[in-house]
Amino acid sequence: MTPIIKAVRGTRDFYPRQMAFRNWLYGHIRAISEKYGYQEWEAPILETLDLYAAKSGEELVQEQAFVFEDRGGALVALRPELTPSLARMVAQRAQQLPRPIRWWSFGPFWRYERPQKGRVREFFQWNLDLLGSQSVSADAEVASVSAELLMALGLTPEQVVFRVNSRSFMEYCLAEIGLSDIASGAVFGLIDRIDKLSEEKWAANGAAIGLADKQLVMLRELLLDRERWRQSEDLCTFFKAVEALGMRKWFEFDARVVRGLDYYTGVVFEARDRDAKYRAILGGGRYDKLVADVGGESIPATGFAMGDVVVGLVSEEAGLIPDLSGCNTQILVTLFAEEFTEQSMLLARDLRAANLAVEVFPDAVKLQKQLRYADRQGIPLAVVLGPDELDSDEVSVKHLQSGAQHRVSRAGLVAGVLSLLDGESSS
């Protein structure tokens, strides 16, 4: 046997069962997004490298993007994130698009990273953005939409927490303790690591970027102060807004959350499982300068992204994923013998005309095998048409779960099948 060629590292094969999960997720995403008035859109998966070079942060482009030359010699990248494409498309039609712009999208992204649990090279991401409003209530709205999605999946505030902060407020706080001279990127990097490093190592890193001992103490105090948000008008507004939207219980202030991407300017947030066992489920915030940075007019914007991998792990652990076989067939029409092929196909055709999902077993193998197949696929009904049935112009309908089998007249088949399926869905 020739060896099977391996899949590309970090990619996942979506067999029907996995595809059913992805579609289950997609269905919830679509329903929630539309409920809040967002419109679906999509960008190319391939973009010119220049688009990302403009903004996303050096790390993302230089080390994590799949970059290559096309046949004409131009440098292109498999998109590592969607926001630059969004900024590009909005900038191109800035004059004609009615504002506010509420858009959502779900599609594949690529990052050349080392795969591990919760992190792969090709992943699917839900993006939802609101452009054209500077209001903090816009930040609260997108954050609430993401919380609604988690709620729709069956997760609760006991299982997931949204941690919220504001970059502009943090910059103000940092200035208060005399850190405005130090590059804010470096300080944000330090803030990001407070939970990952030991106290000594963290202090050493802080000293390395120029913080005095006293400043380190004040910074630590700032980061652990759970009530500091009350001094921020924006954050007060944010929490009032999520309260009005009925989502307050999902959100907590946390000064340690600053988010990695360079382009965030205002409110930032991320959702994680309470035990912090996994990576962030989703993350987002305000990015008021990005549209202008890719060459458009200045348009304020806020939004978030949620990858499919971590939310899948968290949902699975919480036991929320329904039985998804990936099989939607309602009826299997068995094939008793070769010479019944036409009769069986006609039966299937009648059933399909009534909008039922029907498959015909393609080979006249033992009924045993055909029913076994129906059982394994989770097909609820099997129809048998053999010589006995043909003689009396009837067919047999078997309900797999109960084992009950009925003879119905050929003409009454559709009605009989419908009533059996009805009993099934209501039970």
User: Would you say 123 or 169 has its CB closer to RNA?
Assistant: 123
Residue 114 Cβ vs RNA, minimum distance, rounded to whole Å? 4
Q: Is 309 in the site for RNA (CB under 7 A)?
A: yes
Mark the segment that binds RNA (CB under 7 A) among 160-168, 294-302, 361-369, 414-422: 361-369
The single residue among 47, 139, 141, 270 that binds RNA, judged by CB under 7 A, is 270
Q: Is 371 in the site for RNA (CB under 7 A)?
A: yes
The single residue among 233, 388, 412, 422 that binds RNA, judged by CB under 7 A, is 388
Residue 116 Cβ vs RNA, minimum distance, rounded to whole Å? 3
Q: Is 352 in the site for RNA (CB under 7 A)?
A: no
List the interface residues with RNA, window 30-59 (CB under 7 A). Answer: 57, 59
Q: Is 149 in the site for RNA (CB under 7 A)?
A: no
Q: Is 60 in the site for RNA (CB under 7 A)?
A: yes
Secondary structure of the chain in the HEC alphabet? CCCCCCCCCCCCCCCHHHHHHHHHHHHHHHHHHHHCCCEECCCCCEEEHHHHHCCCCHHHHHHHCEEEECCCCCEEEECCCCHHHHHHHHHHCCCCCCCCEEEEEEEEEECCCCCECCECCEEEEEEEEEECCCCHHHHHHHHHHHHHHHHHHCCCCCCEEEEEEEHHHHHHHHHHCCCCCCCHHHHHHHHHCCCCCCHHHHHHHHHHCCCCHHHHHHHHHHHHCCCHHHHCHHHHHHHHHHHHCCCHHHEEECCCCCCCCCCCCCEEEEEEECCCCCCCCEEEEECCCHHHHCCCCCCCEEEEEEEHHHHHHHHHHCCCCCCCCCCCCCEEECCCCHHHHHHHHHHHHHHHHCCCCEEECCCCCCHHHHHHHHHHHCCCEEEECCHHHHHCCEEEEEECCCCCEEEEEHHHHHHHHHHHHHHHHHC
Mark the segment that binds RNA (CB under 7 A) among 16-24, 151-159, 345-353, 365-373: 365-373
The single residue among 147, 190, 400, 417 that binds RNA, judged by CB under 7 A, is 400
Q: Is 297 in the site for RNA (CB under 7 A)?
A: no
The single residue among 160, 281, 290, 333 that binds RNA, judged by CB under 7 A, is 281
The single residue among 55, 167, 279, 286 that binds RNA, judged by CB under 7 A, is 279
Residues that bind RNA (CB under 7 A): 6, 9-10, 57, 59-60, 64, 81, 111, 113-120, 123, 125, 189, 192-193, 196, 259-261, 270, 279-283, 305-307, 309-310, 336, 366-369, 371-372, 374-376, 384, 386-389, 396, 398, 400-403, 405
